[in-house]
Amino acid sequence: MAGKQGRTRAKREKRVDQTLYLSGNRRGAVLKEEVWYEGDRVAKYSLAHINPRICAADNGRVLGYDNTHDYHHRHFMGRVEEIEFHGYGALVTRFERELYEPWRTEDEHENEK
């Protein structure tokens, strides 16, 4: 009797689950990162900067990236747009660049006062 041949799917495992509560000028804001793997492959992810004082829409998500609903997309101030995905590492770099550049500008203006 022939058995069913094929690859068994690796179990999905959440390996990253970080929440940072910001303070100082950014008090009340939250940075979240969640990443699930299947074997060595990133299967699901969510990166978010949440601050309801800045954005009331989208549960306070100012900026975020995720691949729920079976596509890769970016959230920004209540708007959602599909993105090209070039790997999770590249996406984290993009998220950090988009997040930190405005913060640097804010900090420079604050220091001028």
Q: Determine the pLDDT at residue 1.
A: 47
pTM of the entire predicted model: 0.84
Q: Secondary structure of the chain: what % helix, strand, coil (to 5)?
A: 30, 40, 30
* Burial class for 85, CB neighbours closer than 10 Å (0-12, 13-18, 19+): middle
Residue 56, token pair as written in the block = 């009331």
H-only helix segments in 1-113: 88-112
Q: Show pLDDT as tens, one digit a residue, over the chain (113 residues).
A: 455 566 677 899 999 999 999 999 899 999 999 999 999 999 999 999 999 988 999 999 999 999 999 999 999 999 999 999 999 999 999 999 999 987 887 787 677 76
The one-letter code for the residue type at 15 is: R
- What's the number of CA atoms in the CB half-sphere (13 Å) around residue 81? 6
